[in-house]
Amino acid sequence: MIAGVEKFDGIGMTSARTRARMVERLREQGIRDEAVLAAMNSVPRHIFVEEALAIRAYEDSPLPIGSGQTISQPYVVARMTELLRAGRPLHRVLEIGTGCGYQTAVLAMLADEVYTVERIASLVAKARRNLRALKLDNVRIKHGDGSTALGEDLSVDGILITAAAREVPSALLAHLNVGGRMVLPLAGRSDDDRSVQYLTVIEKTPDGVREHTYDAVRFVPLLPGLA
């Protein structure tokens, strides 16, 4: 879907070869979905970080993007995307927490349509610039509060939330089609476990909701309101 990605390739730490090494590392770390790996290889991560940090863009670590937020490490982006896809085609995906737009771009390589919501206006502007540079035409960005009902008649087959919730957001779950998946970082349920977050998959089935817990992670909290 991305046209002319080559023009975003630099030399050394921003080259296509460096991106290919990142993908091989993801494969070694256990990412098995080849479509996800191809998407990660196609999206130039260095254009989503500050110019001074471009040399670190393909390290497996989060990096600051301003407004107290970070771009997730490549492994977490790939892992969440792999869990969301679960080996099936993605048609319409809702993303909560656009950030700088990197996860959005990866999703856009795999889905027919991505609708992404970000509460921080400065990040909405940054994500728009980044995604426009890649000429993605299947992404819609909204400056809005993604912690509650979106006030839209929206149905999706996948929801990805890039901020940690205490509970499964039922207002967002209402947008998910039967057979769809929600992937989010969810705080532990016991008093002793609330400081730990786990990647969690919520499956919406004809018989109700099923929940599966995976890797321990660390995300900023899912906050209400606009900024």
CB 109 within 8 A of CB 131: no
Of 72, 122, 155, 170, the active-site residue reads 72
CA angle centred on 101, ends 76 and 28, rounded to 5°: 25
Please confirm, yes or no, whether 72 is among the known catalytic residues.
yes
Tally the residues of the chain.
227
- Non-local (6+) Cβ contacts of 170 within 8 A are none
Going through the chain in order, the beta strands assigned E by DSSP cover: 63-66, 69-71, 90-96, 111-118, 139-143, 156-161, 176-187, 197-205, 208-217
- Side-chain-side CA neighbours of 59 within 13 Å: the count stands at 10
H or E, element range at 80: helix 74-85
Q: Which residues contact 71 (CB under 8 A, 6 or more apart)?
A: 45, 48, 49, 62, 63, 65, 99, 100, 102
Q: Return the active site residues.
A: 72
